[in-house]
Amino acid sequence: MNFAGRDSPAKPEFAMPERSLSPQREFGFLISDAARLLRTYTDQRAREFGSTRAQWAVLNRLERRQGMSQNELACMLDIQPITLARLVDRLCEDGLVERRPDAEDRRVKRLYLTPKAYPVLASLGELGTEIMQATLAGLDDATVRALVRQLEVVKDNLKELLQVGASTTPSDADLKTGT
Partner DNA sequence: ACCCTATATTAAGCAGGCTTATGAATTTTG
Partner DNA sequence: CAAAATTCATAAGCCTGCTTAATATAGGGT
- Which residues are at the interface with DNA (CB under 7 A)? 32, 36, 40, 43-44, 52-55, 57, 69-72, 74, 78-83, 85-90, 99, 104-110, 166, 171, 173, 177, 179
β-bridge mates for residue 109, sequence order: 101
- Please identify, using beta-carbon distances, which residue of 91 and 117 lies nearer to a second copy: 117
- Please identify, using beta-carbon distances, which residue of 106 and 179 lies nearer to a second copy: 179
- Please identify, using beta-carbon distances, which residue of 36 and 145 lies nearer to DNA: 36
Other Cβ atoms within 10 Å of 20 Cβ, number: 8
Of 29, 107, 30, 96, give the one whose Cα is nearest residue 62.
Answer: 96
Contacts of 114 (CB under 8 A, 6+ apart): 95, 96, 97, 98
Question: What is the C-alpha separation between 10 and 173, in angstroms, rounded?
Answer: 37
Query: Which of the residues 25 through 64 are near a second copy (CB under 8 A)?
Result: 25-42, 44, 47-48, 53, 57, 64
Other Cβ atoms within 10 Å of 46 Cβ, number: 21
Report if residue 122 touches a second copy, rule: CB under 8 A: yes
> If 0-12 CB within 10 Å is exposed, 13-18 middle and 19+ buried, where does residue 3 land?
exposed
The mark string for 138-167 relative to a second copy (x by CB under 8 A, - otherwise) is: xx-x-xxx-xx-xxxxxx-xxx-xx--x--
- Please identify, using beta-carbon distances, which residue of 105 and 146 lies nearer to DNA: 105
In this structure, are residues 38 and 45 in contact, taking their beta carbons and an 8 Å threshold?
A: no
- Choose among DNA, a second copy, none what residue 87 binds, the Cβ cut-off being 5 to 8 Å by kind: DNA
Q: State in angstroms the smallest separation of the CB of 21 from a second copy.
A: 8
In this structure, are residues 157 and 165 in contact, taking their beta carbons and an 8 Å threshold?
A: no
- Choose among DNA, a second copy, none what residue 131 binds, the Cβ cut-off being 5 to 8 Å by kind: a second copy
Report if residue 168 touches a second copy, rule: CB under 8 A: no
Q: State in angstroms the smallest separation of the CB of 93 from a second copy.
A: 16
